[in-house]
């Protein structure tokens, strides 16, 4: 089981009160803020992220510098804002590649007959024996460190989890009562595939992607933090963390704030993913 | 005053919603009082409120709430716990989930004793053994170590009853105690419950099944919408009901009188049969072995006739239906549709003729694409007829086309299911337990609809059910299945009047029926 | 043991052996994809200006002059005898290197797993049946802790407990105090996941009729939790523990690096940076072995917790 599967498990099908929750509102607000920071960082950030001011180096958080300043006196908050686009891009690209690979494996397993199903299942099982970041680290050994490698490496590490969820989904839909009912009506396999199996099996893709982006950003920043992904002086959250590490004892704000953005993004992605699941369940109930 | 249970003006609210209102109830030693009602009538909530278990959100009020001599209107959780198990025992539906599936039943039953009394493990064990003997559990020592999932439906229900009787409570509440059981097992459990009341225990029976109620109850309360609308002795209420609703409820109980013979209809299937099943067998791999689900079945469905297929769970009737629908391939034997090969046959050879056989399923909701509205479902199946027309045929308003099946009632869903089957313009209709999940009044309406459509369109219908009453009401001919085989088939009235096979005779004897004078 | 269950055990063991073989094979061939001459890597990389003679000698010493198939067969043969080869960078047998690092990492991971279980159980027990506010609070705690990245939690814990309060050392020393922050770093996010899974399991079990039956026998709410629902909730959490230990081992890379704690994870990171192929292979294999063993173990425990599974799992 992967972390992602766990999240979908934890989301649960338990229908609860259909009110808009405060958590969802906060998550949507934070997502909008991130979007603004991506598109118009100049409007969000108070300063130029690369403007150095050696006299202001290592100033703690203050009204002038919300997140303090770094070793060159650059405003940490502005750098965090300007780093949003890079970090989100890595997360989105990693999730997209992981989902694509996972989907390909799942379709192969579900529709390729017994041999493919067996092979894909064994492959997924073997890939699970490279837990967490291990698979990503292996990719980096081969291809060398760097943001692009790190992105693809994270994508590859998440693929087995996606593959397992989507395969289960495809098989469940294929065995469902409504697919049988369509067969009894004499509809052709292609029509059943197009009208019932694919739309229903792939409906959770959006939820998976939403949940997965937070996860991917965390893993990619872990690689950056270890010096294997995006490197300083790039304004990227993981790279900023890594750059701040030597000053942990004296200037905690260099690591805590970029890290906090990662945490908030991950939480927001989970909250939004759950909210989407609820919306889907409710739509099913009231359409 | 020797009432064990004395309740007046009981009401239960969940937030703004009142689910039980103004219920009065009394119960004396050795008496069986039944509360009957359809789903949502408030009967189960009433029963739970008597144990203080209506739920954390429930607001329970009563003018009088005396259980075994104690006023429980303002009882604390501790006071409630003192009467649960000792004064009142509870028996729920299906022990598979009503006893903890992870624990041996001996421990589950022993818990009731350990919670209220001190005693060594040996003493508890001996009492559990005695309880299992009391409920006629075969081989009680072995049974104690089994978990509910390892026992058959009837035996685990006995275990559940033993757990409720553990401390010999003067009152036992049984909430649908036989609903999930096959008729033969149900008959034995009803005998056991009758025995317990004969020994002086007062039984409050909650049931939707009037036949079960008439077999056990001394007095009956009819609930609807949270209120008791009629009550009295069983003979009065079932024999001479005053309320319109009670009359409808009784009239809806499937008739045990056979269908009126239709003029011009031969007693034997018209030849050639529209669907001919010959020597069909099918087995499945299970637990390292193979289970023979269908074993050499031969049947014929004549044009325009209704063939009832009756059998208990696991008799192979649903597997047979799936073979006829071309969803399962037989290991041996053939099925012919109008003289042409139907199964076994590659799907390609069947597809163009599939619309000629329609299907109606028990769980209609899962047979609808969860993303689709009623209109879309019907359009997808239609071979020409428009959605309003299709809805009209099954007595539904055209506005329902925009709705999602989830928002419909069980009866409406089953009507949509029938409309979908008709949309493909079939000659044959295969109905697998189409009314089993429905309340009895709704069931009666659906049966009436199916019967009418069958007559109007000259459909040939295979009607599968575990319920002899339902089968009898609809069928021209009946086939009885047991353990994968058809043990007997024949013209309905004759078969019911003079069963030729011992199993059929036993089924007829075990089927509960309204034993009080019928009202028409 | 029935013949059926014996054959199922055999199938499980065969499956485990297959996974280990596949991991070794994938790792072996994947690492051949590294551009450049491995012999050069042994001698310190492209900047080392090694002589052709020295390169030739290294090729012979490491068997790099043999055809790939021969090298692969030799690798499998060495693996069976427990030989993981020589480190390129450190010039010591990989087995010795990892043998020295393994206990520390396993101790860290197992301690974290135990703490995570305790935290999750406590949270799940306290929050079920304690009203809606408590439930949504618990859900928020689970969600947030599950989203905490190890690297950030570690730095935050150091900033708080070492720098500000001075309770625990920022660098992991050999003693118990040095273990606290690394264990917490690994345990808290995992506890968030486990608690969410357990709470869901408990709510599902509480909604089952057997919970009502138990209450009707006079069982208290806490009694129902302890005697019945907690066991149902433990089933998915136990099944997840194999996966959980795997992620803890992977998390050890970050945690051991931050707390400067010797172990498999830090060794792996150094080997990844230095492209020390034999060490990377060795760590991957060791992690795979631990993961596979833990999965087998969690299957066994699952069968104990859920006797219904015995027929399937054992």
B13 in contact with A, Cβ within 8 Å? no
Taking an 8 Å cut-off on Cβ atoms, the answer to whether C140 and A23 are in contact is yes
On whether any CB of chain B is under 8 Å from the CB of A178, the answer is yes
Longest dimension (CA), chain B: 76
Nearest Cβ partner for A186 among B354, B369, B370: B354
Q: Are C24 and A130 in contact (CB under 8 A)?
A: no
Q: Find the residue in A nearest to C157 (Cα).
A: A256
Residue C2: Cβ within 10 Å count: 10
CB contact under 8 A, B354 and A176: no
C47 touches chain B (CB under 8 A): no
Q: By the CB < 8 Å criterion, does C143 face chain A?
A: yes
A182 to chain B: which residues are within 8 Å by CB? 380
C307 to B147: CB separation less than 8 angstroms, yes or no: yes
Cβ neighbours of residue B395 under 8 Å, at least 6 residues apart? B415, B449
| Nearest residue in chain A measured CA to CA from B420 | A185
Buried/exposed code over B353-386 (b: 16+ C-beta within 10 A; e: otherwise) = ebbbbbbbbbebbebbbbbbbbbbbbbbbbeebe
Cα R_g (chain B), whole angstroms: 25
Q: Hey, what domains does chain B have and what are their CATH numbers?
A: 96-168 (no CATH), 303-329+345-510 (3.40.50.300)
Contact between chains at C143 and A226 (C-beta distance less than 8 A): no
- C21 at interface of A, judged by CB pairs closer than 8 A: no
Any CB–CB contact under 8 A between A1 and chain B? no
Tell me which residue in A6, A134, A249 faces C193 most closely, judged by beta carbons: A6
Q: Which two tokens stand for residue C153?
A: 């939690």
Task: Test B287 with C228 for CB contact under 8 angstroms.
Answer: no
Helix boundaries (H) for C33-88? 38-42, 52-62, 68-80
- Exposure string of C23-41, with b = 16+ CB inside 10 Å and e = fewer, is bbebbbebbeeeeeebbbb
Instruction: Give C-chain residues touching A248 at CB under 8 angstroms.
Output: 155, 158-159, 163, 170
**Which chain C residue has the Cα nearest residue A225?**
C151
Digit-coded pLDDT (tens) for A18-65: 445 788 889 999 999 999 988 888 887 788 887 787 888 888 888 888
Name which of A141, A219, A256 to mutate to probe chain C: the one with the most chain C Cβ atoms within 10 A of its Cβ: A141
Decide: B504 and B311 in contact? Cβ < 8 Å.
Answer: no
The superfamily (CATH) of domain A2-286 is: MetI-like (1.10.3720.10)
What long-range pairs does B399-405 form, CB within 8 A, spacing at least 24? B400/B374, B401/B373, B401/B374, B401/B375, B402/B373, B402/B374, B402/B375, B403/B373, B403/B374, B404/A284, B404/A285, B404/A286, B404/A287, B404/B372, B404/B373, B404/B374, B405/B364, B405/B365, B405/B368, B405/B374, B405/B377
Interfacial B residues in 384-443 facing A (CB < 8 Å): 404, 406-407, 420, 424
Half-sphere exposure of B18 (CA within 13 A, CB side): 11
Quote the minimal CA–CA distance from C251 to chain A in Å: 7
- Chain A contact partners (≥3 CB pairs within 8 A): B, C
Q: Residue B431 pairs with which residues in a beta bridge? A: B360, B463
The pLDDT-based confidence of A11 (bands split at 50, 70, 90) is very low
Nearest to A102 by CA among A12, A212, A189, A200: A212
> What distance in Å separates residue C129's CA from the closest CA in chain B?
9
Helix (H, G, I), strand (E, B) or coil at A36: helix
Task: Answer yes or no: do A184 and B325 touch at CB < 8 A.
Answer: yes
Residues 57-76 on C with a CB inside 8 Å of A are none
Residues of A in contact with B383 (CB under 8 A): none
Describe the strand order of the beta sheet including B460-465 as a list of residue ranges. Answer: B357-360, B428-432, B460-465, B306-310, B477-482, B485-491
Q: How far apart are CA C42 and CA C89, in angstroms?
A: 6
Interface test with A, best of B324, B369, B403 (most A CBs within 10 A): B369
Burial class (CB in 10 A: 0-12, 13-18, 19+), C284: buried
pLDDT tens string B220-235: 999 999 999 999 999 9
Kindly list the residues from chain A whose CB atom is less than 8 angstroms away from the CB atom of residue C158.
248
Query: In the beta sheet, which residues pair with residue B335?
Result: B277, B343
Q: What's the gap between Cα A47 and its chain centre? A: 28
Question: Does C201 lie at the interface with A, CB-CB under 8 angstroms?
Answer: no
d(CA C228, nearest CA chain B) in Å:
7
The minimal CB distance from C27 to the residues A132, A133, A138 is found for A138
Q: What is the pLDDT of residues B156-171, one digit of tens each?
A: 999 999 999 999 999 9
**What is the three-class DSSP state of C171?**
coil
pLDDT in tens, chain C (314 residues): 455 567 777 888 888 899 999 999 998 888 888 877 777 777 776 666 778 888 888 888 777 788 888 888 988 888 888 888 888 888 888 899 999 999 999 999 999 999 999 999 988 888 776 667 777 888 888 888 888 889 889 888 888 888 778 888 877 766 777 888 999 999 999 999 899 888 888 888 888 899 999 999 989 888 898 889 988 888 888 888 888 898 899 899 999 988 888 899 999 998 888 888 889 889 999 999 989 998 888 888 888 888 776 544 33
Complex confidence, ipTM: 0.84
Average pLDDT score over residue span B426-451:
92
Nearest by CB to residue A284, choosing from B358, B380, B406, is B406
Per-domain residue ranges of chain A = 2-286
When pLDDT is cut at 50, 70 and 90, the band that residue A236 belongs to is: confident
């Amino acid at each position: 089981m992967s972390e992602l599967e766990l999240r979908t498990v934890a989301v649960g099908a338990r229908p609860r009160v259909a009110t808009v929750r405060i958590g969802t509102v906060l998550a949507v607000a934070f997502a909008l803020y991130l979007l603004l920071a991506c598109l118009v960082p100049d409007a969000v950030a108070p300063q130029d992220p690369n403007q150095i001011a050696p006299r202001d180096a290592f100033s703690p958080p203050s009204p002038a510098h919300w997140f303090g300043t770094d070793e060159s006196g650059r405003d940490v908050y502005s750098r965090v804002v300007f780093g949003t686009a890079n970090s989100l891009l890595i997360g989105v690209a990693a999730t997209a590649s992981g989902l694509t690979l996972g989907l390909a494996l799942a379709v192969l397993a579900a529709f390729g007959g017994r041999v493919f199903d067996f092979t894909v299942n064994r492959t997924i099982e073997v890939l699970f024996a490279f837990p967490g970041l291990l698979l990503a680290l292996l990719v980096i050994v081969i291809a060398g460190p760097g943001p692009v490698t790190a992105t693809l490496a994270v994508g590859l590490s998440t693929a087995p989890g996606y593959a397992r969820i989507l395969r289960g989904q495809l098989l469940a839909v294929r065995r469902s009562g409504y697919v049988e009912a369509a067969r009894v009506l004499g509809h052709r396999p292609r029509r059943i595939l197009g009208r019932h199996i694919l739309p229903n099996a792939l409906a959770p893709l959006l939820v998976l992607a939403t949940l997965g982006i937070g996860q991917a950003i965390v893993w990619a920043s872990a690689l950056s933090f270890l010096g294997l992904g995006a490197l300083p002086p790039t304004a990227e959250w993981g790279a900023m963390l890594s750059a701040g590490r030597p000053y942990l004892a004296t200037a905690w704000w260099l690591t805590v704030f970029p890290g906090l953005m990662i945490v908030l993004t991950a939480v927001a992605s989970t909250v939004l993913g759950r909210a989407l699941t609820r919306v889907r369940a409710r739509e099913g109930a009231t359409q | 005053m020797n009432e064990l249970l004395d309740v007046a003006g009981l009401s239960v609210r969940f937030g703004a919603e009142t689910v039980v209102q103004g219920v009065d109830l009394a119960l004396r030693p050795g008496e069986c009082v039944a509360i009957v009602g359809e789903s949502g009538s408030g009967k189960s909530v009433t029963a739970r409120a008597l144990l203080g278990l209506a739920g954390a959100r429930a607001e329970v009020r009563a003018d009088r709430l005396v259980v075994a001599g104690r006023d429980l209107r303002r009882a604390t959780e501790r006071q409630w716990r003192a009467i649960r198990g000792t004064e009142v025992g509870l028996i729920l539906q299906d022990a598979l989930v009503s006893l903890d599936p992870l624990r041996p039943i001996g421990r589950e039953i022993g818990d009731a004793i350990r919670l209220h009394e001190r005693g060594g493990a040996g003493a508890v064990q001996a009492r559990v053994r005695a309880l299992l003997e009391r409920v006629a559990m075969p081989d009680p020592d072995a049974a104690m170590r089994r978990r509910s999932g390892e026992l058959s439906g009837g035996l685990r229900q006995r275990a559940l009853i033993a757990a409720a009787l553990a401390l010999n409570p003067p009152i036992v509440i049984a909430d649908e105690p036989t609903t999930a059981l096959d008729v033969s097992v149900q008959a034995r459990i009803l005998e056991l419950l009758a025995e317990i009341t004969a020994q002086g225990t007062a039984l409050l029976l909650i049931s939707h099944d009037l036949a079960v109620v008439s077999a056990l109850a001394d007095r009956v309360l009819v609930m609807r919408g949270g209120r008791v609308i009629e009550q009295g002795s069983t003979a009065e209420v079932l024999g001479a009901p005053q309320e319109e609703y009670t009359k409808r409820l009784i009239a809806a109980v499937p008739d045990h009188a056979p269908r009126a013979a239709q003029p011009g209809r031969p007693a034997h299937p018209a030849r050639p049969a529209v669907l001919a099943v010959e020597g069909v067998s099918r087995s499945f791999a299970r637990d390292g072995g193979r289970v023979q689900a269908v074993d050499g079945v031969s049947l014929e469905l004549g044009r325009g006739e209704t063939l009832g297929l009756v059998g208990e769970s696991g008799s192979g009737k649903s597997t047979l239906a799936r073979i006829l629908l071309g969803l399962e391939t037989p290991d041996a034997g053939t099925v012919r549709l109008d003289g042409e090969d139907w199964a076994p046959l590659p799907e390609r050879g069947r597809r163009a003729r599939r619309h000629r056989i329609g299907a109606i399923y028990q769980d209609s909701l899962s047979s609808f694409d969860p993303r689709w509205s009623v209109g879309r479902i019907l359009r997808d199946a239609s071979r020409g007829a428009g959605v309003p027309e299709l809805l009209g045929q099954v007595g539904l308003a055209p506005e329902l086309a925009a709705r999602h099946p989830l928002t419909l009632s069980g009866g409406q869903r089953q009507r949509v299911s029938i409309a979908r089957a008709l949309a493909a313009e079939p000659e044959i209709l295969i109905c697998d337990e189409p009314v089993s999940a429905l309340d009895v009044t709704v069931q009666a309406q659906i049966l009436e609809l199916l019967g009418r459509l069958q007559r109007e369109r000259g459909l040939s219908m295979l009607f599968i059910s575990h319920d002899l009453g339902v089968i009898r009401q609809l069928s021209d001919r009946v086939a009885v299945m047991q353990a994968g085989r058809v043990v007997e088939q024949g013209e309905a009235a004759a078969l019911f009047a003079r069963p030729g096979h011992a199993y059929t005779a036993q089924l007829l004897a075990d089927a509960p029926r309204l034993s009080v004078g019928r009202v028409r | 043991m029935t013949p059926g269950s014996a054959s199922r055990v055999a199938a499980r063991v065969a499956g485990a052996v297959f996974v280990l073989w596949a991991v070794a094979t994938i790792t072996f061939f994947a690492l051949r994809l590294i551009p450049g001459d491995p012999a050069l890597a042994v001698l310190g990389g492209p900047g080392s200006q090694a002589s052709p003679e020295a390169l030739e000698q290294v090729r012979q010493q490491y068997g790099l002059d043999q055809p790939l198939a021969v090298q692969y067969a030799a690798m499998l043969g060495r693996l069976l005898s427990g030989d993981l080869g020589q480190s390129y960078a450190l010039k010591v047998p990989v087995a010795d290197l990892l043998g020295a690092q393994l206990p520390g990492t396993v101790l860290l991971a197992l301690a974290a797993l135990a703490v995570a279980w305790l935290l999750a159980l406590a949270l799940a027990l306290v929050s079920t049946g304690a009203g809606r506010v408590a439930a949504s609070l618990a859900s928020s705690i689970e969600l947030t802790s599950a989203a905490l990245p190890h690297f950030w939690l570690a730095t935050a814990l150091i900033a708080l407990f070492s720098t500000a309060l001075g309770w625990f050392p920022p660098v992991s020393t050999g003693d118990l105090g040095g273990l606290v922050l690394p264990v917490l770093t690994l345990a808290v996010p995992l506890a968030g996941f486990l608690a969410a899974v357990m709470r869901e399991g408990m709510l599902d079990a509480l909604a089952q009729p057997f919970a009502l039956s138990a209450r009707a026998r006079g069982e208290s709410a806490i009694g129902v939790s302890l005697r019945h629902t907690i066991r149902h909730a433990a089933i998915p959490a136990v099944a997840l523990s194999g996966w959980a230990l795997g992620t803890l081992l992977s998390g050890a890379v970050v945690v051991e690096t931050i707390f400067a704690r010797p172990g498999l994870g830090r060794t792996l990171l150094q080997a990844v940076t230095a492209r020390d192929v034999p060490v990377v292979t060795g760590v991957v294999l060791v992690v795979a072995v631990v993961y596979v063993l833990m999965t087998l173990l969690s299957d066994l425990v699952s069968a104990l917790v859920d006797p219904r599974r015995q027929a399937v799992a054992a």
